[in-house]
Structure 1
Amino acid sequence: MTIPTLEFNDGNSIPQLGYGVFKVPADEAERAVAEALDAGYRHIDTAAIYGNEEGVGAAIANSGIARSELFVTTKLWNDRHHDDEPDRAIAESLERLGLEQVDLYLVHWPTPAKDDYVHAWEKMIGIRERGLARSIGVSNHLVPHLERIVAATGITPAVNQIELHPAYQQREITDWAAAHGVLIESWGPLGQGKYDLFGTDAVATAAAATGRTPAQVVLRWHLQKGFIVFPKSVHAERMRENLDVFGFQLDDAQMAAIDALDPLDGSGRVGSQPNDVN
């Protein structure tokens, strides 16, 4: 199976579909990532705060897959923005992962109450310049945060990883990203089970028409919107199902019906509001 890639604004590229390990327990991470790699995933998304970087690294080391064929993301946690903490944090993540370089390093949240995310972004630029990360980006950054870091440094993130699913499409951020050459990664792409996307007429009807599961329909919607997506599952069968989303297309009417699931008032959000996270 060939997973399509998208190009970053720095010239590097990323597989559009990956495997996320958010909430995968540390003692299950090695097994889960190994099964994902065996299923065909080559893009793994982790973070320091997930506590499972060691398991991810062990699975990669034991996979027999060339490092050049893998794309690995990790993230800088909120209490590491100040002083030289970003430099220490990336060194620690690389040691846990057993890697010399990650493909993508993200500022996990802006934590605006601390007001040190511009400094964190400046340090991220240095991390990239030293070759410890091929590309750098952010996660959970709203438009004012994005505008501020770009104005301060002249460097635009390669990606913004945000909560995004049909019930919470964050159009202000995605419009800004499209205008500035920033790719969007969707976390919680299926609504994390807190919003019943699968029970909606739009998703159920598309699933019946295409002979696919509701989850496959929602993932296909993300891909056709041009988003990067990395669903999480610890079950090998579900991993394979989530990967099997390239053999069909949603038509314009089906896409429009799913687009219309967003109530547009923010009530579909299932995660934290970025300005409230510190």
Structure 2
Amino acid sequence: MSLGDEHDGFGGVGGSGQTRTRLPEGGSGDVHGGGARRPPTRSSRSLITVVGVVVLLIAAIAFANRGDGDPTDGPAASQGKSPADAGAPTSATGVRPVTGRTGEIPTGFAHDEQGAQSAASNYAVALGSVDMFQAGPRQAIVETTHDPAVVSGLLKRLDESYSPGFLANIGLDANGTAPTGMTFVSRTVPVGAKVREFTADSATVDVWCTGLVGLAGEGSTKPVTSNWFTITQKLRWVENDWKIVTSEQTEGPTPVNGDNRASVADEIAEAVEGYGGFTYAR
């Protein structure tokens, strides 16, 4: 599912040569998504589908900030791994992770396939965050993650889509703020990434993700649920970094649900407030 030339089922808007992004639709009813606890309806998966892209990445993503800063943590260190370790899809591989940052978003990725995967993964996290639901932070995220050629048109469509009606439908006020006593949760967590196409100045990267979205708090009628989806980002090398040109999303791959006990709202709120995110890199 993607932002194409017409509105899609979730309010997507777009045009040729512009970023294709899943956008929210104000009148879609209960749009909170679910995954680990399989949601009963399609509409309950809408929001997590929205935030997975921009409301709207070869193997699994390894946590980037590994090691103690010793230069041997990088490619040279990987040469000392056993053949089995070196071939494991979840092994940390390649160049040292990115150290640049624009605001809270990692930037300054390597000009190679690994850098494209890292960029796509970290951009997916930013574009699936709570900040996308507020106008100022949303603009900063889009400007940081996207090719400048598509930013203006994308921001206009996003601002129209994040209407007061849509925000009210998911339990937020017109400024994207949760009610007193509630914690709004929106997180995208990359599980793995692979490069589909690569040239010197462009790349297409798939990012397999899981995500959380909903309102945590006593009496919430929109509890935090999870979902699984794959984001496909087309990237361009511009201004010495990888930037998104278009983005689209499909459902799954989705694993079989486990039998974990669902946590109460306070436990979810405490976890979201207490556990920070990661920087992702190959």
Please report the TM-score for the alignment, with normalisation by the length of structure 1. Answer: 0.28
The TM-score normalised by the length of structure 2 is 0.28
- Structure 1 or 2: larger helix share? 1
Q: Which has the larger share of strand?
A: 2
